[in-house]
Amino acid sequence: DAGVIQSPRHEVTEMGQEVTLRCKPISGHNSLFWYRQTMMRGLELLIYFNNNVPIDDSGMPEDRFSAKMPNASFSTLKIQPSEPRDSAVYFCASSSSGQGTDTQYFGPGTRLTVL
């Protein structure tokens, strides 16, 4: 199994631009999580999908952030417009049930830099 796949691995953009991060979960997993990691705030859950449906988006910072999961094998996290404070590493993780009793498998992350 290839594990959780994220793209791009690195993204450098200018303030105001739209950024789209992509994630392919492990095949057969029905739960997907987007996290953001910064030095100041650590690892924060942004949004959680179960069976392609957003269950909890309370961690999404503001309306500039949106996430979709059109099918079981693909999810996107979009930031529009991007701001320098959005600079962070964004991780996608998947698990087989999402009940927290299962292991979450993390992708390698996307390092986003907004200039």
Beta strands in the chain (DSSP E): 5-7, 10-13, 19-24, 31-38, 42-50, 53-56, 65-71, 74-79, 88-95, 105-106, 110-114
CB of 20 to other proteins, least distance (A): 19
CB of 9 to other proteins, least distance (A): 9
Torsion of CA 30, 24, 13, 115, to 10 degrees: 50
Single out the segment in contact with other proteins by CB under 8 A; choices: 16-24, 65-73, 76-84, 103-111.
103-111
- Which of 74, 76, 96, 105 binds other proteins (CB under 8 A)? It is 105
- Give yes or no for residue 115 binding other proteins (CB under 8 A): no
Burial of 93 (0-12, 13-18, 19+ CB in 10 A): buried
x/- track of binding to other proteins for residues 43-82 (CB under 8 A): x-x--x------xx--------------------------
* Interface residue list for other proteins (CB under 8 A): 4, 42-43, 45, 48, 55-56, 91, 93, 98-101, 103-109, 111
